[in-house]
């Protein structure tokens, strides 16, 4: 039985990952400060004797005995990570230093949840792992983008200097049950607006694109990445390459919820990437043929059901 630490384990993705790791017979510790995560995401796991939760902030050192670490602690939605940009940078950078120190001391394998945001507003399409990105260091998204870029750099330096067994994945837009209802991300916003019959808020003209991945596909990719041979550290893109405009997403959600909501338009936020699509050739090759199984409509139906039942709408 492996003892596995998941930082950010009470968050949207972290809670699904903890659930899956427990199902596979591991001893799981979720560490979280509940900034954007919540106890309700992991309540159903608390009866499991092999699950523990620690309320702690990753910017402060911590000492645990573990075999593997998944480092997810960091607010992920633009609204939340821009709420306190300095704290977001500290979480990515000081958090990485603390988990890497732990991995070094315990000789533990460690996976970093990096992001497609390291590519910024990409000039290469679709994005391959070899692309260095186009990030505005001074813009409102930089606290997240540069924090995550620096974390990747810390990971590779701990690998080369200290022989730490690292894995880096770059996650593309992921959605599903347990997304925070108020975090402002597009899938949760549109579903809640459609269910309530409110106007659907499109930023810009809705022609910007994203490629949406259902959370179960991501968790499968994370676990496969953790199991790759020593020395293979990535980075590896994990996402669903089916690309949609934001307007198409709104129209699909209106159809699936049979909503009467209308589309309304607001200015596009600064530095909002105009297109995003992962090239997943490397993941397919190195993660035993991994590829996303759940396509947009199927995943949206599950997510709509979740918001309907939890928000009572
Ligand atoms: P989330 O906000 O639901 O989860 C983040 C978790 O980290 C929350 O439980 C939060 O309370 C916790 N956290 C934040 N700061 C912390 C701190 N200082 N100390 C301890 N815990 C802290 O977001 P998510 O979508 O589940 O994202 C999880 C990870 O995946 C993040 O690192 C994010 O950058 C990465 N990621 C997510 C996406 C996506 O589309 N969801 C895309 C790319 C990367
Ligand atoms: N967006 C939108 N309306 C919303 C929320 C988001 O049009 O209510 C747009 C946003 O401007 C971006 C895309 O949807 O172009 C995805 O936004 P999200 O915050 O989900 O993630 P991002 O990929 O930008 O980090």
Q: CA–CA separation, 114 vs 3, rounded Å?
A: 22
Q: Is residue 109 part of a domain?
A: yes
Q: Is residue 203 part of a domain?
A: no
pLDDT at 313: 80
The finding on whether 13 has its CB within 6 A of some atom of ligand 1 is yes
Q: Is residue 301 part of a domain?
A: no
Is 144 assigned a catalytic role?
yes
What string of pLDDT tens digits covers the 313 residues of the chain?
999 999 999 999 999 999 999 999 999 999 999 999 999 999 999 999 999 999 999 999 999 999 999 999 999 999 999 999 999 999 999 999 999 999 999 999 999 999 999 999 999 999 999 999 999 999 999 999 999 999 999 999 999 999 999 999 999 999 999 999 998 999 999 999 999 999 999 999 999 999 999 999 999 999 999 999 999 999 999 999 999 999 999 999 999 999 999 999 999 999 999 999 999 999 999 999 999 999 999 999 999 999 999 988 8
- Return the ligand number nearest the Cα of 186: 2
- In this predicted model, what pLDDT tens digit does every residue of 31-64 receive, in sequence order? 999 999 999 999 999 999 999 999 999 999 999 9
Closest residue to atom 6 of ligand 1, CA basis: 8
- In this predicted model, what pLDDT tens digit does every residue of 231-276 receive, in sequence order? 999 999 999 999 999 999 999 999 999 999 999 999 999 999 999 9
**How far is ligand 2, taken at its centre, from the CA of residue 283, in Å?**
25
The finding on whether 8 has its CB within 6 A of some atom of ligand 1 is yes
**How far is ligand 2, taken at its centre, from the CA of residue 52, in Å?**
34
Q: Is residue 185 part of a domain?
A: no
pLDDT at 312: 81
Q: Is residue 130 part of a domain?
A: yes
Domain housing 155: 3-174+214-241+277-293
Q: Which of 70, 81, 119, 144 is catalytic?
A: 144
Closest residue to atom 14 of ligand 2, CA basis: 186
Cα 191 to Cα 181, 256, 300: the distances in Å are 10, 9, 9
- Return the ligand number nearest the Cα of 17: 1
Q: Is residue 198 part of a domain?
A: no
Burial of 14 (0-12, 13-18, 19+ CB in 10 A): buried
DSSP assignment string, the chain: --EEEEETTTSHHHHHHHHHHHHTT-EEEEEE--SS--GGGTGGGTT-TTEEEEE--TTS------SEEEE--S--SHHHHHHTHHHHHHHHHHHHHHHHHHHHHHT-EEEEEEEGGGGBS-SSSSBPTT---B--TTSTTHHHHHHHHHHHHHHHHHHHHH---EEEEEE--EE-TT--TTS--HHHHHHHHHHHTPPEEEETTS--EEE-EEHHHHHHHHHHHHTSPTT----EEES---EEEHHHHHHHHHHHHT----EEEEPPPTT--S---B--HHHHHHTTT----S-HHHHHHHHHHHHHHHHT-
Q: Is residue 150 part of a domain?
A: yes
Q: Is residue 9 part of a domain?
A: yes
- Return the ligand number nearest the Cα of 212: 1
Give how many domains the chain has, as a whole number: 1
Share of the chain above pLDDT 70, in %: 100
The finding on whether 74 has its CB within 6 A of some atom of ligand 1 is yes
- CATH number of 167's domain: 3.40.50.720
Closest residue to atom 11 of ligand 2, CA basis: 203
**How far is ligand 2, taken at its centre, from the CA of residue 147, in Å?**
20
pLDDT at 311: 86
């Amino acid at each position: 039985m492996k003892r596995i630490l998941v930082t950010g384990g009470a968050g949207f993705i972290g809670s699904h990952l903890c659930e899956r790791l427990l199902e596979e017979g591991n001893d799981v510790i979720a560490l979280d400060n509940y900034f954007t995560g919540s106890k309700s995401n992991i309540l159903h796991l608390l009866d499991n004797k092999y699950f523990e939760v620690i309320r702690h902030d990753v910017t402060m050192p911590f000492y645990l005995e573990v075999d593997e670490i998944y480092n997810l602690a960091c607010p992920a939605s633009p609204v939340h990570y821009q709420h306190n940009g300095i704290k977001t940078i500290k979480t990515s950078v000081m958090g990485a230093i603390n988990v890497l120190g732990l991995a070094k001391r315990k000789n533990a394998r460690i996976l970093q949840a990096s992001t497609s945001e390291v590519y910024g507003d990409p000039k290469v399409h679709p994005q391959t792992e070899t692309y260095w990105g186009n990030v505005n260091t001074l813009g409102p998204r930089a606290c997240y983008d540069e924090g995550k870029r620096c974390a990747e750099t810390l990971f590779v330096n701990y690998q080369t200097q200290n022989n730490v067994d690292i894995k880096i994945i770059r996650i593309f837009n992921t959605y599903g049950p347990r997304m925070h209802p108020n975090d402002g991300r597009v899938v949760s916003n549109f579903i809640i607006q459609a269910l309530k019959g409110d106007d659907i808020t499109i930023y810009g003209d809705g022609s910007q694109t994203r490629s949406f991945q259902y959370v179960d596909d991501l968790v499968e990719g994370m676990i496969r990445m953790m199991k790759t041979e020593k020395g293979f550290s990535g980075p590896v893109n994990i996402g669903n390459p089916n690309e949609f405009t934001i307007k198409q997403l709104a129209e699909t959600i209106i159809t699936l919820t049979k909503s009467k909501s209308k589309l309304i338009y607001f200015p596009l936020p600064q530095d909002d990437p105009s297109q995003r699509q992962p090239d997943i050739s490397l993941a397919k090759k190195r993660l035993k043929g991994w590829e996303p199984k759940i396509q947009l409509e199927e995943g949206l139906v599950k997510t709509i059901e979740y918001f309907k039942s939890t928000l009572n709408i």
